[in-house]
Structure 1
């Protein structure tokens, strides 16, 4: 019994450290805080959140209209927070009506990545 408690405490400490690292790696943002967007290509969109944060959204399928549209919508599922691809749908108006594209992956860009991607021609 004396040896079980230290082993249990060590396992709990490792578990909480792994959970904290996972949470830090998986940055979340609120749908209402999105200020702008930039279409990188037909299946990649960068959204600006607040003054300095940029998140890259990968779409499950390409959107032929996203590179010329002046606006998009971003719908969050299950609440206002977007933490993973399954939490978001990008809504794109087009000549055939509004199209909805499920997001497959989201990642927060570093300041250097955000700056570099904003200079890329479409």
Structure 2
């Protein structure tokens, strides 16, 4: 299991969060599902295009990346930054930042979705953060 380390130097000055995210505007499926980047406990790269996050004690989220993120499966730490507010929400725009041998690589997130308990249960142990 890898630890998620959000560092201000690596992320280029990530904004600190003042409090827990509240529900956003109600959509057809209900209130928005959000989390703070600092609440992420660990991550696991499924492949160059998919990263699973463990948030808090029991929540899991999956990030699909635009164009992949080379060598993310070798990263020991990552940062995640919201591009649309102070929290990361399902369907929102975010950037995953991972160290590389030439400096931090910024990998844009296409989708953020919360995994169901059934999806977490069926997950390959190697893909579970």
Bin of the TM-score, shorter chain as denominator length: 0.7 to 0.9
Could you list the runs of 5+ residues in structure 1 that have no partner in the other structure?
A: 1-18
**How far, CA to CA, are the matches of 2:120 and 2:35 in structure 1?**
16
Compare relative contact order (CA 8 Å, sep 6+) and give the higher one, 1 or 2.
2
Equivalence for 1:34: 40
Aligned length: 102
Could you list the runs of 5+ residues in structure 2 that have no partner in the other structure?
A: 1-25
Equivalence for 1:119: 125
Equivalence for 1:10: none
Equivalence for 2:106: 100
Higher helix share: 1
* Aligned positions of 1:1-122 closer than 5 A: 19=26, 21-24=28-31, 26-120=32-126
Quote the RMSD (CA, aligned, Å): 1.9
**How far, CA to CA, are the matches of 2:115 and 2:87 in structure 1?**
18
Taking structure 1 as the reference length, the TM-score comes to: 0.73
Q: Is the 8 A contact 2:66 2:109 kept in 1?
A: yes
Taking structure 2 as the reference length, the TM-score comes to: 0.69
**How far, CA to CA, are the matches of 2:123 and 2:98 in structure 1?**
21
Query: Based on CA coordinates, which of the two structures has the bigger radius of gyration?
Result: 1
State the Cα distance separating 1:101 from its structure 2 match: 0.8
Equivalence for 1:12: none
Stretches of 4+ aligned residues off by more than 3 angstroms: 19-24
